[in-house]
Amino acid sequence: MHIENNRYLLEGNVDPLKLAEKYDCPLYIYETAVMKRQYKRLMDAFDLKKLKINYACKALNNISVLRYFKSLGSGLDTVSIQEVKIGLMAGFLPEEIMFTPNCVSIEEIALAVELGVKINIDNLSILEQFGHLYPDYPVCIRINPHIMGGGNSKISVGHIDSKFGISFHQTPHIHRIIKAHDMLIEGIHMHTGSDILDIDVFLQGAEILFQVAEEFKDLQYIDFGSGFKVPYKEEDIETDIEELGEKITTRFQEFCTSYGRDLTLMFEPGKFLVSESGIFLTKVNVVKQTTSTVFAGVDSGLNHLIRPMLYDAYHKIVNISKTEGRSRIYTVVGYICETDTFGVNRKMTEINEGDILAFYNAGAYCYTMASNYNSRYRPAEVLVHEGKDYLIRRRENMDDLVKTQVVVDIFENQEVSV
């Protein structure tokens, strides 16, 4: 979003206030131009012939968005069998879909085998069961490199991630299992968690992965996962993709030379590709002055955008109904009967009831985490592409809210219709 002639505008000069009128609030809006910019930035950062980006669709799983990424040449990273199926519906070929689940049952993995997608295994128990059932199905192995570089706050990355992946200290076990079942390992993977800022820490993880990879002779690809940070505030630093790209490119080429074959380098970003593509529009229901605070209460809450409450995520908020005039300090809150504060002491142009507030960085982990709490409808989603707006998900209605319920009269022992 940018400001022109005192108005906020989206790609192709689409006016978000007009979309708020047309589709009503609350409303999610995504811009394909931003998705494309981010996809290209990542592709251009690595000077490699064999480079594959698998969009991690848990960030934003609307099928129209998935189709757009497919048109850019992206593959798909999925974490549940349902995401795999959504990916197939969107037109991805099975071999373009990577299934990277954590702690799912062997039955769920068996379904993924039936669908023919790439499978990434992240624990020894499943690896062994898989080898027993499908010795001929090539798999990828998720390694936990326990990155602790620098001994600073990055230590927490290793800890947070400890549930994920097979520790690189356990590679002898991996080899025993693979040998016992004559399995084919086609890829090695790591995903170290979100918000990698220190490129050297990332490179240390990569070194560990290269060490592990050397011992597998049939690899097709090495997957470095994601963890690219995007800016949320003006002063935020983001992962320097260009520097990372240069360093990884050099090191990856060296590795391929010593390995004896050109492998594919893969990444699976979610946030980096879609976070900045989205804004979330809400209407101010109430401006409420208390003794210490001015609250702006909007027609949404933690049911639609839970990141601020769930992990203190910062979302920049602006009053798009007014670009000029004096500013005041507001605490922006939702309408849910819980404390659902979106932002504290935010400076923005003076708010009148009925004004539209836009939340930035609303593309990743926003709609996909939305719920029906307080029996509210989930919002509509709109995609803006080359100056045109497309409704890609309608707002829910009363029928949607109750459609899965079976209402029974427990005294008469029968179903009733309501």
Ligand X SMILES: *Cc1c(COP(=O)(O)O)cnc(C)c1O
Location of structure tokens 């709490």: 373
- 337 annotated active-site: yes
Q: How far is the CB of 194 from ligand X (least distance, A)?
A: 4
Question: Which is catalytic among the residues 25, 57, 337, 366?
Answer: 337
Residue 170 exposure: Cα atoms within 13 Å on the Cβ side: 18
Location of structure tokens 């045109």: 388
Q: How far apart are CA 142 and CA 188, in angstroms?
A: 6
Return the H-helix or E-strand segment holding 388. strand 388-393
The residue among 242, 279, 309, 185 whose CA lies nearest residue 40 is 242
Positions in the binding site for ligand X (CB under 6 A): 56, 58-59, 77, 79, 100, 191, 194, 225-228, 268-272, 364
Are 184 and 136 in contact by the 8 Å Cβ rule? The answer is yes
The token duo for 113 is 């085998």
- The DSSP symbol for 165 reads S
Q: 68 vs 228, which CB is nearer to ligand X?
A: 228
Location of structure tokens 């689409």: 14
Q: How far is the CB of 203 from ligand X (least distance, A)?
A: 18
Query: Do the bridges between strand 51-56 and strand 264-267 make them parallel or antiparallel, or are there none, so unpaired?
Result: parallel
Q: How far is the CB of 138 from ligand X (least distance, A)?
A: 18
Q: 223 vs 340, which CB is nearer to ligand X?
A: 223
Instruction: DSSP for 282-351, please give it.
Output: EEEEEEEE-SS-EEEEES--TTT--HHHHH-----EEETT-SSS-EEEEEEE-SSSS--EEEEEEEEEPP
Q: 94 vs 193, which CB is nearer to ligand X?
A: 193
Q: 56 vs 357, which CB is nearer to ligand X?
A: 56
Q: 11 vs 83, which CB is nearer to ligand X?
A: 83
Instruction: DSSP for 315-334, please give it.
Output: --EEETT-SSS-EEEEEEE-
Q: Helix, strand, coil proportions of the chain in percent (round to 5)?
A: 35, 25, 40
CB-based closest residue to ligand X: 270
Instruction: DSSP for 225-260, please give it.
Output: ---B---SSTT-----HHHHHHHHHHHHHHHHHHHT
Q: How far is the CB of 351 from ligand X (least distance, A)?
A: 32
Partners of residue 264 on adjacent β-strands? 221
Q: 168 vs 272, which CB is nearer to ligand X?
A: 272
Helix (H, G, I), strand (E, B), or coil: what is residue 367? helix
Q: How far is the CB of 163 from ligand X (least distance, A)?
A: 11
Q: How far is the CB of 296 from ligand X (least distance, A)?
A: 29
Q: How far is the CB of 227 from ligand X (least distance, A)?
A: 6
Q: 120 vs 129, which CB is nearer to ligand X?
A: 120
| Residues that are catalytic | 337
